[in-house]
Every structure is written in C-alpha cells, then in structure tokens.
Chain A
Amino acid sequence: MAAREKYDEAQVVEQLHDPKLCKAAFGKVIEHYSSQLYWQIRRMVIDHDDANDVLQNTFLKAWTSIDNFRGDAKLSTWLYKIAINESITFVNRKKAMNQMSIDDDESFLVNQLESDEWFDGDEAQRNLQRAIATLPEKQRLVFNLRYYDEMKYDEMSEILGTSEGALKASYHHAVKKIEQFLGET
C-alpha cells in the first residue's frame, strides 16, 4: 500500500488554482476533509444515505465554485459553510416533501433516527440524539460543532457568521436544554 501523502494546505490551495494540478489537488481535499464533513453532516441529517448525498453535493458545489475560492478564508471554513448550508437545505426540502412544518425539526429528526439502519447506539446514545433533536437549528449546529468536533468559537464564528458571545450563549442554552431533557427521561 502506498504511503499516504502529507497534506499541505497552503500547497493544495495554490495547486487548486493551477489548471493542470487542480483536479488532483481537489482529490487531496476530498481525502482530507471527507470524514470530518461527513460526521458534521450526519449529525445534522441523521440518516447515513442522506449524509452521503449531502456530502457528495457539498464537494460538487465546492468543486464547481472553486474558482471563487481565493484563499481569503481557510479552506476548512469554506467547506464547512457549504456543508452546513447543504445540510439545512436538504433537511428543509425533505421536511417539505414529507409535508412537515419547517419548524418541526424534532419529529423529523427522531423519525430519521428510528429509520436509520446505520445507527447502532444504545439507549443512552439514542436519548442524547433525541435531546439534540429538540434544539432549535442554530443551537443544534453550535452544540454539534462544539461538543463533538471541539471546534473553537472563533472558527465557528467565521463559519456561522455569528459573534463569539452569541455562540457561547447558544451553547450554554443548548447544554441546559439537553440536561433538562435527559433529566426528564
């Protein structure tokens, strides 16, 4: 098996703007970011097949608009932004297809969890996912990025376009709501 090439972001960004090297460079981007983006998307859409579709759309969108990426922001920030937008759009579209209210995230996500054949968590993990599903969209996003990815607030602020103070408050409220939900169950 060939040794995995070391990922150098500055070099990859430079190669992305070279017509001869861009496709190979984007392959490196896919290899480097597919896992972390997948898990962020999966926690938003819950179902594996849906997460797979959204991840594919995310990379396609990034690739077709790669010319607009000038390296002003970090590549990870740009990709996370696309992934989060794609996830939100997907969830809203699927809710509309199932004739559910746009605000009814909880029952939609719980249904997704119940029908996902790639969820094999125990009762406690299922309860935590149910608790996260009760959160408003923004708080759910902030909780997932902070709790699972341990993302710093300044990076989160760039991705979500919200102040660090507001994100800290969102996270604090999310934790309280989850604790309350879990205390009741």
Chain B
Amino acid sequence: MKQEDSTILKKYGKDPGFKVPENYFADFNRRMTEMLPDVEITPVDVKPTMWQRVKPLVYMAAMFAGLWCMMSIFSHFTPQGNMDNVRAVAEKLYDDKGNVDDFIMSGVSDYDILNYEDSVQMSNEEEPAIKK
C-alpha cells in the first residue's frame, strides 16, 4: 500500500465495520446455486483454427524473408568500386608473401652474395682438374 494512505490506514485500519449474519456466505452459495435457471449453453469448439495452427510457421517464414530482403538490399547498395578495392587488397596481400623472403635476406649484404657466388664458381672450376 502506498505512503499516501498510511495515515488513514494507521488510524482506521481496513475493517469497515460491516458485519454479515452467521453462515451468510455458505447459505448464500447454496441458495444461489439452487435458484440458477436453465440456460442454453453453446459448446465452444476448442479445436484450434487452421490459422492458429499455421501462424508460428508463417511468422517464421516472414522473419527469414525479411532477413533475405535486408541482405539483398544491403548488397545492392554496396558500391561495386568498394568490392574492386577489396579484391585488389586481397591480391596485393597474396603477392606480398615474397616480402617475407626479403625480410629474411635483409641481413645478407650484396658483398656476401658476390663472395658466395665466387666461391661456388671457383670450386666448380677446380673439380674437373681433380678428375683429370
């Protein structure tokens, strides 16, 4: 109960001071039930209608259709240029795998490579002499 009626509640309580004769409700219920006239009752068909049965399926189908429409609209309004950019970036990334080799070789100077090639060449030239 709210604060605003707490003054009334504290001072007067909830008993309105009304009384009823003894066993009034038990007697009333019995008398009332006995005096009910005959009435015509139409039996209610409790079987669900066709619409009530298919309603969840229709709602679900509508939800998926809505999702499909939204995705179609989004893809329709995405500019083709953007897709080209995406493709170009992907190709670039794929090509850039060579950069990994560059990175590994970055600690080797041109002088080292020339030295290495010279030594290989010299050893190749010496080998036939030994065979002879």
Seen from chain A, the residues whose Cβ lies within 8 Å of a Cβ on chain B are 14, 16-19, 22-23, 26-27, 30-31, 34-35, 38-39, 42-43, 46, 48, 52, 55-56, 59-60, 63-64, 66-67, 70, 116, 118-122, 124-129, 147-148, 150, 172, 175, 178-179, 182
Contact = CB atoms under 8 A, between A and B. Distances in A.
Interface residues of B, number: 31
Contacts of A55: 28
Contacts of B29: 27, 30-31, 34
Contacts of A18: 41, 43
8 contacts: A17-B41, A18-B41, A67-B40, A67-B42, A119-B18, A125-B15, A147-B9, A148-B16
Contacts, number: 105
B11 A124 contact: yes
By secondary structure, the B interface counts as loop
A60 B19 CA distance: 24
Interface of A is mostly: helix
A118 B16 contact: no
Contacts of B32: 30, 34, 56, 59
Contacts of A182: 8, 11
Contacts of B11: 124, 182
B3 to A, nearest CB: 10
Nearest to B15: A125
B4 A147 contact: no
A23 B34 CA distance: 10
Contacts of B16: 42-43, 121, 125, 128-129, 148
Given A17-B43, A60-B36, 19 more contacts: A14-B46, A19-B43, A30-B29, A34-B29, A38-B28, A48-B20, A59-B32, A63-B36, A63-B37, A67-B42, A118-B18, A118-B19, A118-B21, A121-B15, A124-B12, A129-B16, A148-B14, A172-B4, A182-B8
